Amino acid sequence: MTLFPPEAGTQPDPAPPLVRVRALIAYDGRGYHGFAAQPGVKTVGGTIITTLSRVLRHPVELTCAGRTDTGVHAWGQVVSFDVAEDRFDPDTIVRAGNKLMAPTIVVRSVERAEPGFDARRWAKARTYRYSVVNRSVPDPFLAATAWHVEEELDVRAMQLACDPLIGEHDFSSFCRPPRGTNGGDPPSMVRKLQSAEWRELGDGILRFEVRSSSFCHQMVRSLVGTMVEMGRGRRRAGEMAAILRAESRAAAGHLAPPHGLCLWHVDY
């Protein structure tokens, strides 16, 4: 998606020649109303745009690899934007950007990209991770980035529930219904999952990792919420295929909380 700076028009546009830039961004999604820039609302994308425009002294149009919702984190978010060549200094952008945004938003790296590089359209796959602390006592050091589930979970059942998800399916049962499209056909909810698995990391910490070329809105959180219900014994792992076939959000479980979700990596 392309995001436009709230202060567009208050600074001169960047003078050519321009350099297409690729930046790797990490952020704590708490305190931000999602990624997409919105007037009058504190968002991750809006904060990055404002900061880059200040550092570079010209307006910035930002494209991100994956738009994250309110409260969702990222370790491997990728963004692309143009910089006037005489102002392109990766070290300065990293240092000045982090001075203004850290610790909740961090510029991990900045590099010159190929002409025309687009963080969203050029992405071949995105990997998300969802973390669960499954033990009776919460962990204060993981409370901001993992869902605490006190009941003992049947991890084997949750692992079995992943099998029917692999491959190409209509994931309407796990996606927030799209808004109207002015009478046109609704967007497709068909996605192709390349991998999906639960891992036990020890000390009651579980991680769900899923990889696909793209995801629909709230898809990963819906999958996790449904599989945790299976882990609790409230649903059977064998129901997953039928839930997929139902193509109805009502067939799946509740959404897992946003703070356990992290955009981990983007492949190009």
Please identify which residue in the block is written with the tokens 């990596």: 265
**3 state DSSP class of 16:** coil
Considering only CA atoms, which of 261, 238, 268, 266 is closest in space to residue 130?
261
CA 21 to CA 184: how far, in whole Å? 35
Catalytic residue selected from 13, 69, 139, 170: 69
CA 204 to CA 263: how far, in whole Å? 22
Q: DSSP state, 7?
A: T
State the Rg of the chain over Cα: 20
89 is catalytic: no
Considering only CA atoms, which of 66, 54, 61 is closest in space to residue 20?
61
Q: What is the DSSP string of 82-123?
A: EEEGGG--HHHHHHHHHHHHTTTEEEEEEEE--TT--TTTT-
Alpha helices per DSSP H over 144-234: 155-162, 219-231
Please identify which residue in the block is written with the tokens 């708490």: 30
**3 state DSSP class of 134:** coil
41 token code pair: 């609302």
Residue positions annotated with a catalytic role? 69
